Amino acid sequence: MAANTTPGLQIQATKQCIPASQNVSKMSTMSFNFGSKRKSFTDFRSSSHISLTKPIHSFKLAPIKFERMVTKAMSGASEQVPVSGLPIDLRGKRAFIAGIADDNGYGWAIAKSLAAAGAEILVGTWVPALNIFETSLRRGKFDQSRVLPDGSLMEIAKVYPLDAVFDSPEDVPEDVKTNKRYAGSSKWTVSEVAESVKQDFGTIDILVHSLANGPEVSKPLSETSRKGYLAAISASSYSFISLLKHFLPIMNPGGATISLTYIASERIIPGYGGGMSSAKAALESDTKVLAFEAGRKHKVRVNTISAGPLGSRAAKAIGFIDMMINYSLENAPLQKELYAEEVGNTAAFLASPLASAITGATVYVDNGLNAMGVGVDSPAFTGLDIPKDNKS
């Protein structure tokens, strides 16, 4: 009997070349293939797997060398014999991702991973950015970023104008209604978008909140105005409550929602002000309460991902994102760059049946930085034997 193929999200960790001048110990490789058909070693490069490396000759503790790894969500099925594995198969599922306005942030990476696993993708884009986003998409400027691991392009079934700060048309002030950046767009409040999705597609299975804005983010919290503080809360945390409220009625039982948070919710991050730290703390607290309510009433799971710093266009508006990336590289347990795909793949897992018992959780995807109590690059620790990446 011929075996059936099972397309699904698969995870591939590829190691970059290491200069010959670097000392590399012998390593063994253990691969987990999340496909449905066995591939030969020659074809394994185009298959998907997770490669984990560890020394095989000694268990002696020594400073660990981390190789730079690129993680990609993979779709499609192999063409040979099935192998054991846990496929992330989201075929037949529909996802609405709120907050995508370009091709280099976490929202885009999540959309790609969900698409690689077989989900249909719907996008909500901030109204003032809608025209540029749709034009870039139509003219092929995002084509390179749309490429999935099987070579196909991620398809976006529909892009909806969205401003998640407003729940209904009655909430929109006159100066926004008449703003030229909103001209030509309609039905972009949260309730209207949910209704439009219902009319166009009926139901969804996955809801992703990738939204945040703090107009006074560069101000210390003690200097933040009431207006700026409430604006940060409204755009960055209450917007998730609103999305969930209006989309839950059209979410299928067993569905999942995912938001994005940041370690500033529980640790002091100087420069991340304007009420944004408060907004992220509120988002994480709301995740627990909403997990209970949505789980009991609708059998929908609610989780949030605490992602490490990424040099996206949106993050660069904060002004010190490069410092945070460098800080993470120096102080996180895993001394490597954080890739958007790693957050995307985590979101795909959380949206899948493999995470069917996970809800109300804050999942850290930050190379372990959240676990640190101090910055080990501080001069105060000079002289201590602190493990470091061997770069010689």
272 part of the active site: yes
Options 272, 327, 339, 364, the catalytic residue: 272
3 state SS for the chain: CCCCCCCCEEEEEEECCCCCCCCCCCEEEEEEECCCCECCCHHHHCCCEEEEEEECCCCCCCCCCCCCEEEEEECCCCCCECCCCCCECCCCCEEEEECCCCCCCHHHHHHHHHHHCCCEEEEEEEHHHHHHHHHHHHCCCCHHHHECCCCCECCEEEEEEECCCCCCHHHCCHHHHCCHHHCCCCCCCHHHHHHHHHHHHCCEEEEEECCCCCCCCCCCHHHCCHHHHHHHHHHHHHHHHHHHHHHHHHEEEEEEEEEEECHHHCCCCCCCCCCHHHHHHHHHHHHHHHHHHHHHHHCCEEEEEEECCCCCHHHHCCCCHHHHHHHHHHHCCCCCCCCHHHHHHHHHHHHCHHHCCCCCCEEEECCCHHHCCCCCCCHHHCCCCCCCCCCC
Q: How far is the C-alpha of 108 from the C-alpha of 200, rounded, in Å? A: 22
Options 106, 160, 262, 339, the catalytic residue: 262
229 part of the active site: no
Task: Tell me the catalytic residues.
Answer: 262, 272
